[in-house]
Structure 1
């Protein structure tokens, strides 16, 4: 069975070895390189994000329109108007996401070539 530290000198030596090991592991561990606001997303996440933005715009427009119809008694008029406004807002948000993706180089990690960046090229 392993023995524990016998005195303070052993504890200090163990602590120094542990710090040295942590430093060596930190140097060997590759660090993530975030090259833009969308660096952590892959293409499937971006597609789902765009779909959710569109559906959220439609849903919010539907709820606001229904509430105004109920408040003013205008039947489906406000609901139809606000569904179209929500659809337009969802499309605008999707286009903004697409423009952000295009600005990062065409791939979610911002690398135009599609391959991972070298360790020396990181910021």
Structure 2
């Protein structure tokens, strides 16, 4: 290969990469929205899973021991608390992720 031919191919490749990056930036808004919805569903699922797990453990222990609804109520509340803590941790993870708008606004002002 000759040197000018190599440079021409390299500049063509750089132009294609730049064009591809420009296309991804336009599609990133939809991906950010999808990501936020995905985190929201994950938080709801974590809360429901905590409630159901607590209810199941409490109901099973009540059935084994013979205490009426005492352990079921206790473990359901503990499952709710665990689900809320997990939701808050997920929300904190989402909040720690930098977004394009806030980081750009901080640089300007």
Correspondence 1:113 to 2:98: no
Q: What's the CA shift for 1:47? A: 1.3
**How many Å separate the matches in 1 of 2:62 and 2:33?**
42
Comparing both chains, which one has the higher relative contact order based on Cα–Cα distances under 8 Å and sequence gaps of 6 or more?
Answer: 1
Question: TM-score by structure 2 length?
Answer: 0.63
For 2:55, the equivalent position in structure 1 comes to 62
Summarize deviations over 1:60-113 as a string: whole Å, max 9, x none. 000000111111111111000000000000000000011111111xxxxx3241
Instruction: State the number of aligned residues.
Output: 85
The residue correspondences of 1:76-115 to structure 2 (distance < 5 A) are: 76-104=69-97, 110-113=98-101
Unaligned segments of structure 1, at least 5 residues: 1-19, 33-38, 105-109, 115-123
Question: TM-score by structure 1 length?
Answer: 0.56
